[in-house]
Homo-oligomer: A and B are copies of this chain.
Amino acid sequence: VSEPLVSFVGAGPGDPELITLKGLRLLREADVVIHDRLIPHTLLAEAHPGAEIIDVGKSPRQHCLPQVEINRLMVEVARRGRRVVRLKGGDPAVFARLAEEIEAVAAAGLPFEVVPGVTAATAAAALAGISLTERGRASTVVFATGTDHSGRVTTALDWPALARTEGTLVFYMAVHGLETVVSMLVTRGRHPGEPAVVIEHVGAACERVVAAPLGEIADRAREAVVTSPAVLITGPTVAFAQPPWNGRTRRASRGARPSIVGS
């Protein structure tokens, strides 16, 4: 029985306290940590002093290391018998190119495991006090990407279906294409008055919530100079949001309130 040599670990969104106990344990045991850009960087201090930390972070306009090189690096390190933690922001199975990396590791015959994490959609919903589903109002929730890995608005999406869907829509990486995403939805019949929020830097100390009707959310986000990463949530349950940030602290543990813009 061989132990996994590569552990794909979800670090959760910006807040280092949102990693799982298992993720933290594996991080502490790793010989090599290969991490993306969008992880809470203070987590890296949890690796043991002798561990090698490799940043393969990609920003929308700057690919630090091409995917194929990341794959090669993981395989090379694990082949030497070193325990690799491949640390990804959020959850590894959601918009994190896990399939490609698993394929590379499995093709090399290396034992691996996937440790799930808190994905940005639910962390953003938690911050805004929104339930993504609700009986009779939102029986489904869809996760989609606003932009692809090159920063372009995703054209492959079935926009008419997304516009019609009865439940909640969450767009990851929603900043760059926000106006296009909203316009694709609204011109195909989604109600511009539907409540929406854009949540910037989910989980981080600088997180912000911008709330507005869907038809106005892109303008409000632009005025607020929202930057990546951010998540757009739109749907009937957003109306039911009872923002915990409304006049109250939400994170007594850190002594800071997120900044709120709009609504």
Contacts and interface: CB of A to CB of B under 8 A. Distances in A.
Nearest to A105: B242
A114 B129 contact: yes
Each complex incorporates copies of this chain amounting to: 2
Contact of A17 (B21, B95, B244): B21
Interface stretch (A58-66, A73-81, A130-138, A175-183): A130-138
B119 A242 contact: no
Interface string A125-163: 111011111111001111111001100001011100110
A55 interface: no
A44 interface: no
Interface residues of A, number: 81
Interface string A212-249: 00000000000000000000000001001010100011
A102 B131 contact: yes
B148 A96 contact: no
A97 interface: yes
Given A93-B132, A126-B115, A140-B144, A242 B21 contact: no
A136 B118 contact: no
Contacts of A17: 20-22, 25
A117 B122 CA distance: 8
A131 B100 CA distance: 9
A113 interface: yes
B111 A116 contact: no
A252 B25 CA distance: 13
Interface string A17-39: 11111101100000000000000
Interface string A95-112: 111111011011000011
Closest 3 CB pairs of A and B: A106-B242, A114-B126, A98-B131
Interface of A: 1-4, 8, 10, 12, 15-22, 24-25, 91-100, 102-103, 105-106, 111-119, 122-123, 125-127, 129-136, 139-145, 148-149, 154, 156-158, 161-162, 164-166, 237, 240, 242, 244, 248-253
